[in-house]
Amino acid sequence: MFKKIYFFVPIFLISLIVFGIISPINTLSNDISHKVLRLHILANSDSKADQEIKLKVKDNLLKDTAYIFENCNSLDESITTAKSNIDLFQKSAERTLKNCNSNYSIKIYVDNEFFDIREYEDFTLPSGNYNTIKIVIGEGKGHNWWCVMYPSVCISACTDDFDKVLTKEEKKMITSKKYIPKFKMLEIVNKLKNKIKS
Contacts of 4 by beta carbon, 8 Å cutoff, 6+ apart: none
Helix axes 168-175, 2-33, angle to 10 degrees: 110
SS3 sequence, the chain? CHHHHHHHHHHHHHHHHHHHHHHHHHHHHHHHHCCCEEEEEECCCCCHHHHHHHHHHHHHHHHHHHHHHCCCCCHHHHHHHHHHCHHHHHHHHHHHHHHCCCCCCEEEEEEEEEECCEEECCEEECCEEEEEEEEEECCCCCCEEEEEEECCHHHHCCHHHHHHCCCHHHHHHHHCHHHHHHHHHHHHHHHHHHHHHC
Global confidence as pTM: 0.80
Average pLDDT over residues 174-178: 84
182 or 34: which leads in pLDDT: 34
Strand 118-120 and strand 123-125: pairing?
Answer: antiparallel
pLDDT digits (tens, 9 = 90+) for 82-141: 999 999 999 999 999 999 999 999 999 999 998 988 888 788 888 889 999 999 999 999
Break the chain into its structural domains and give their ranges.
29-197
What is the average pLDDT value for the chain, to the nearest integer?
84
What is residue 156's predicted lDDT score, i.e. its pLDDT?
A: 63
